[in-house]
Amino acid sequence: MANRLANPFAFEPGKSALATMHPLAKLVFLLGVASAAMRSSLGVMVVLFALGILALMRLPKVAGGALLSIAALAAFAALARGVLPGDGRLFDLTTLPASGLYALRLFTVYVYSRLFYATTRVGEIGDWMTAAVRVVRRLIRKRRSAQEKEPGIMGDPGMLFSLVLLFLPRIFDTYQRIKEAGEVRGIGLSRRNVRRTLLMLEQLIIGSMVQAWRTAVAMEARGYSPQRSLRLKKFTGWDWGLLGLAALLFLL
Amino acid sequence: MAELFRAEGLGHLFPDGKVGLEDLSLSIDEGEFVIVAGKNGAGKSLLMRHFIGLSKPSSGAILYRGAPIASQIPLIRKEVGYVFQDTEAQIFGQTVEEDLAFGPANLGIRGKELEEAVRQALREARLEGMSDRRPLTLSGGEKRRLAIAGVLAMKPRCVILDEPFANLDFPSAMEIIDVLTALRAEGKTLIVLTHEIEKVFSLASRLVILDHGRLVFDAPPRQAPKEVFVQTGLVCPYRECYPWRID
């Protein structure tokens, strides 16, 4: 549970209709929304924000702590522009309305990113990237008409992408475990003792590397190799509709 | 029964010169239930890493179905399932069902066949009714069974389980034993690496004991003399010498 609160991008399974849609359509839509949220008028943005929140609320078990942490981050990024304006004051109050609007824009982008992340499988986007690379490799192989060796992990961007996505939440878990183990022995990361903190950071790095290695070996044992079979969704009418909506948002 | 694995004079030296395995020769046939026992650091997991091609021998050779292991890796990935000790590291799905589909989907299984593979794995690992659960919310025993189910969904002919009873309470351990009993009845080859041999002693057809990387015993479990357990630091499972027995 602590992991879910600490990590705003923790995986959340959801049975929303969005989960059945094509990941590329959702990605383009996300880019469209992000573009509109950062440029559009207040009215449009509030509508986008409200729709995003409504969609997010329909997903099961959205971690409230994660939303709060992102809200705090957005507020910090927005308020930074008013800090120390250079005329001796600590904060320029006149920047507040613009900062508030900016924070709302950032938060809107986050809400849609969260929606995308909550309804897209770890490897979906990665599989499309790998499929594209495989097509290019096949074309090159045809042209050169020479035998090439099988691709390794570096020739499989989807695999790298999936591993990183899978690995990130696990770093949060490792961090939490090390932090708790340190706290019960009187060493907190928050304490101002550089040497102790460095010792714990060393543990975090080593622990994460060991965890990553174990995960990679376990994945390989279950057939997840550069030669694996890819599962690619097909575009449906809903996906084309989402792409149309994204185009509209780009034009806004 | 056809021979599955064969180790011939297998040796493994770590980079610091420490001996991991020393002149080890044994073979495992299809349909056997083998306990590979030994105290921590005896070389059990290392031997299995060689069996599935994750480590390279310093000396000797490993054969799978009579051919050198290097040429058999794709076949091994298809036929041999490995349940690692660290359960968390081998769960990749957002739900139980999705995790079970991960392995067979990588092998190219799709549609109805994939659904059936997932359903059967759920049944075999006693996880019916949990398909929509998030793996994070499962208990330790359920996670262990999910890891086993993830491997079973790939329909392996041989399953290797590394310390399947580690950190499990009695009911959870019994559930794992039930799963193993059913798999044995199906005729699957089972290799269980454990130092808790009493839990599977009566189920197994063969007991292999390693000590400091050397093979010190290899025969049906009932033929093991008391002394071999004492000498290798294992719990003697016989009534007259079981250390935790209360009269």
Q: What is the pLDDT of residues B143-176, one digit of tens each?
A: 999 999 999 999 999 999 999 999 899 999 999 9
Q: How far apart are CA B39 and CA B224, in angstroms?
A: 16
Express each pLDDT in A15-40 by its tens digit: 677 888 888 899 999 999 999 999 88
Q: How far apart are CA B91 and CA A64, in angstroms?
A: 25
Q: Do the chains contact at B94 and A215, CB–CB below 8 Å?
A: no
> In the structure, what pLDDT confidence band is assigned to residue A152 with cuts at 50, 70 and 90?
low
Q: Please count the other Cβ atoms lying within 10 Å of the Cβ belonging to residue A196.
A: 15
Query: Smallest Cα–Cα separation from B183: which of B161, B207, B206, B209?
Result: B161
Which tokens hold the place of A105? 């824009």
- Predicted confidence (pLDDT) at residue B20 exceeds the cutoff of 50: yes
Q: Is residue B99 part of a domain?
A: yes
- Predicted confidence (pLDDT) at residue B45 exceeds the cutoff of 90: yes
Q: Please tell me the total count of domains within chain B.
A: 1
Q: Tell me the β-bridge partners of B21.
A: B12
A124 phi-psi bin (left φ>0, alpha ψ -120 to 50, beta other) = alpha
Task: Report the CATH number that the domain containing residue B222 is assigned in CATH.
Answer: 3.40.50.300
Per-residue confidence (pLDDT) for residue A5, from 0 to 100: 34
Q: Is residue B246 part of a domain?
A: no
Chain A residue closest in CA terms to B149: A222
Q: Is residue B89 part of a domain?
A: yes
User: What is the 3-state secondary structure of A164-222?
Assistant: HHHHHHHHHHHHHHHHHHHHHCCCCCCCCCHHHHHHHHHHHHHHHHHHHHHHHHHHHHC
> Among A201-205, B134-138, B229-233, which stretch is predicted with the lowest mean pLDDT?
A201-205
Residues B76/B82, Cβ–Cβ less than 8 Å: no
> In the structure, what pLDDT confidence band is assigned to residue A1 with cuts at 50, 70 and 90?
very low
Q: Which domain holds residue B213?
A: 3-241
Q: How far apart are CA B155 and CA B79, in angstroms?
A: 7
- Mean residue pLDDT across chain A: 78
Which tokens hold the place of B30? 């299809």
Mean pLDDT of B34-46: 94
Per-residue confidence (pLDDT) for residue A8, from 0 to 100: 40
**Which of A1, A122, A214, A222 is most worth mutating to test chain B (most B CB atoms within 10 A of its CB)?**
A222
Task: Provide the shortest C-alpha distance from residue B172 to chain A (in Å).
Answer: 22
Helices (H) and strands (E) in chain B, counts: 7, 10
Q: Which residue has the higher pLDDT, A13 or B234?
A: B234
Task: Provide the shortest C-alpha distance from residue B43 to chain A (in Å).
Answer: 18
Per-residue confidence (pLDDT) for residue B228, from 0 to 100: 94
Query: Smallest Cα–Cα separation from B31: which of B189, B192, B157, B159?
Result: B189
Q: Please count the other Cβ atoms lying within 10 Å of the Cβ belonging to residue A160.
A: 15
- Cα angle at A216 between A214 and A220, to 5 degrees? 115
Which tokens hold the place of A203? 């543990």
Q: Is residue B235 part of a domain?
A: yes
Residues B227/B240, Cβ–Cβ less than 8 Å: no
- Mean residue pLDDT across chain B: 92
- Predicted confidence (pLDDT) at residue A7 exceeds the cutoff of 80: no
- Predicted confidence (pLDDT) at residue A224 exceeds the cutoff of 90: no
Express each pLDDT in B181-205 by its tens digit: 999 999 999 999 998 999 999 999 9
Q: Is residue B145 part of a domain?
A: yes
> Among A17-26, A58-67, A87-96, B83-92, which stretch is predicted with the lowest mean pLDDT?
A58-67
Q: Determine what percent of chain A is predicted with pLDDT higher than 90.
A: 14
Q: How far apart are CA B135 and CA B138, in angstroms?
A: 5
> To 10 degrees, what angle do helices A124-144 and A157-184 make?
140
Mean pLDDT of A216-245: 86
Chain A residue closest in CA terms to B52: A221
The beta-carbon neighbor of B105 closest among A173, A220, A231 is A231
| Contacting residues for A151 by C-beta, under 8 A, at least 6 apart | A133, A137, A226
Q: Is any Cβ of chain B less than 8 angstroms from the Cβ of A234?
A: no
Q: Determine what percent of chain B is predicted with pLDDT higher than 70.
A: 100
Chain B residue closest in CA terms to A219: B90
> In the structure, what pLDDT confidence band is assigned to residue B107 with cuts at 50, 70 and 90?
confident
> In the structure, what pLDDT confidence band is assigned to residue A145 with cuts at 50, 70 and 90?
low
> In the structure, what pLDDT confidence band is assigned to residue A14 with cuts at 50, 70 and 90?
low
> Among A149-153, A199-203, B91-95, B192-196, which stretch is predicted with the lowest mean pLDDT?
A149-153
Q: How far apart are CA B42 and CA B37, in angstroms?
A: 8
- Predicted confidence (pLDDT) at residue A13 exceeds the cutoff of 50: no
Per-residue confidence (pLDDT) for residue B51, from 0 to 100: 95
Q: Determine what percent of chain A is predicted with pLDDT higher than 70.
A: 81
Which tokens hold the place of A175? 């961090």
Q: Is residue B152 part of a domain?
A: yes
| Count of alpha carbons within 13 angstroms of residue B84, beta-carbon side | 21
- Predicted confidence (pLDDT) at residue A75 exceeds the cutoff of 70: yes
Where are the strands (E) in chain B, listed by range?
3-13, 19-29, 33-37, 59-64, 67-68, 80-83, 158-162, 189-194, 206-211, 214-219
Q: How far apart are CA B168 and CA A34, in angstroms?
A: 47
Residue whose token pair is 């049944």: B123
> Among A36-45, A214-223, B46-55, which stretch is predicted with the lowest mean pLDDT?
A214-223
What CA–CA distances, in Å, run from B212 to B133, B196, B225? 42, 18, 19
Chain B residue closest in CA terms to A224: B106
What kind and span of H or E run contains A125? helix A124-144
What DSSP designation does B69 have? G
Query: Smallest Cα–Cα separation from B150: which of A224, A125, A13?
Result: A224
Q: Is residue B247 part of a domain?
A: no
Where are the strands (E) in B76-120, listed by range?
80-83
Q: Is any Cβ of chain A less than 8 angstroms from the Cβ of B84?
A: yes
> Among A34-48, B89-103, B164-178, which stretch is predicted with the lowest mean pLDDT?
B89-103
- Cα angle at B88 between B84 and B91, to 5 degrees? 85
Which tokens hold the place of B22? 């020393």
What DSSP designation does B127 have? -
Identify all chain B residues contacting A165, using CB atoms and an 8 Å cutoff: none
- Predicted confidence (pLDDT) at residue B215 exceeds the cutoff of 70: yes
Identify all chain B residues contacting A2, using CB atoms and an 8 Å cutoff: none
